[in-house]
Structure 1
């Protein structure tokens, strides 16, 4: 579904991505792993149109996204959940979810899509009229994911969903992402520093190191390779 080729992105003179290429299969969960500063967040921000590359392409079903405005990329079926979620704390849970349908062309069935999010994340249903500022960290992450899902994306970009969350909540979030792939055919590109959790649910994985792809392959194979795990993933 997504094909990234020779992507170069720089902040000033320093490249954050230096010739990155990767493929994201339709309906699969692909994990992007690596240390802080490896270029993981930059990769997602470039795919979603928030950054412009110096060169290279990121194509969705053959259509290059790198020169399109972010709202057009959303209309094509790409949703981006940024690091720390990015929910609007002054708005209620329901109001945040309604924002998820803003740029998608199918807006008539918004109530059905919001109801599906409440079914996926029951704590949000109980707090639908509450301001997002009153939610726990885990509930805010659920809300950020739910807002993206309201748009019914084909490709979901998720940046560090485990950041600052308790292990139990991390396991719940990862299980939901896996279930979405299996049950709905959603394609997920997951950026994570928690390599163990990401590999437990991913189909494929790649490791970024200093802006380049250090290794890529089946997630189970990477998790089973002691040398690779110790060298790149820290466990």
Structure 2
């Protein structure tokens, strides 16, 4: 299995204050890797740095062997990276379809959106039924599906997904986790999943890393992390 994402010695933060400290990470292509840890562990900062929203102070990020340092965000999208931030980022005033079309802004073939749009509507039938609805008219689960769908419009190879279960009902969370597994199995999508719902994340992940105070304190296959009682009690809260 080839390696799609490699992170080496990544250090980053805000205003000169480091939050990440020499983070190393490996994610094989076509797998789901869960990033776990308490609030303040550096998980969101990691995704923001990988997606180009934060400039690293040190270290490298390699996507399929290519160094991403200094690459503009729009070029990262064209290279196959998509980021769904915490809070979903749906634009309330725009319709479902208008929000989805924003996902094609940085595609090389922006005019050829009909195929990707149809694919998203097949994945999320409730969005198809509400394509003319404004973002503020959607439920929390539908807004999360819309944010996911918008990222998928660009047909990414690597999806960075930050807290998709936040504030959602358990049934909706289960549907989203099942969808991630389906996308991995059917399309080969690689997912880096930041998630407070540790049990849910490990149920779909192939591997995982545990972060604490901006450092990786454990990395293993998902089953091993779930079965490590000392690790779970110390860092994962169950």
What TM-score bracket applies, with the shorter chain setting the length? over 0.9
Cα displacement string for residues 107-160 of structure 1 (whole angstroms, at most 9, x for unaligned residues): 343111111111111110110000011001110000000000010001110000
- Paired with 1:226 and 1:208, the residues of 2 have a C-alpha distance of 16
The match for 1:67 among 61, 67, 70 is 70
Are 1:50 and 2:53 counterparts? yes
Q: How many residues align?
A: 235
Are 1:94 and 2:107 counterparts? no
TM-score, normalised to structure 2's length? 0.97
1:38 maps to 41
Q: 1:46–1:66: 8 Å Cα contact kept in structure 2?
A: no
Point out the more displaced range, 198-207 or 220-229: 220-229
SS at match of 2:166: coil
Are 1:81 and 2:84 counterparts? yes
- Paired with 2:169 and 2:230, the residues of 1 have a C-alpha distance of 28
- Paired with 2:120 and 2:81, the residues of 1 have a C-alpha distance of 17
Are 1:168 and 2:174 counterparts? no
Shift of 1:10: 2.0
Shift of 1:207: 0.5
Q: 1:58–1:65: 8 Å Cα contact kept in structure 2?
A: yes
The match for 1:142 among 121, 141, 145 is 145
Cα displacement string for residues 198-224 of structure 1 (whole angstroms, at most 9, x for unaligned residues): 000000000110000010000011111
Are 1:195 and 2:195 counterparts? no
- Paired with 1:85 and 1:53, the residues of 2 have a C-alpha distance of 24
1:231 maps to 234
Please list every run of 5 or more consecutive structure 2 residues that lacks an aligned counterpart in the other structure: none
Shift of 1:13: 4.4
TM-score, normalised to structure 1's length? 0.98
Q: 1:47–1:66: 8 Å Cα contact kept in structure 2?
A: no
SS at match of 2:151: helix
Please list every run of 5 or more consecutive structure 1 residues that lacks an aligned counterpart in the other structure: none
Shift of 1:14: 2.9
Q: 1:9–1:52: 8 Å Cα contact kept in structure 2?
A: yes
- Paired with 2:75 and 2:58, the residues of 1 have a C-alpha distance of 20
The match for 1:2 among 1, 5, 29 is 5
CA RMSD of aligned residues (A): 0.9
Shift of 1:106: 3.1
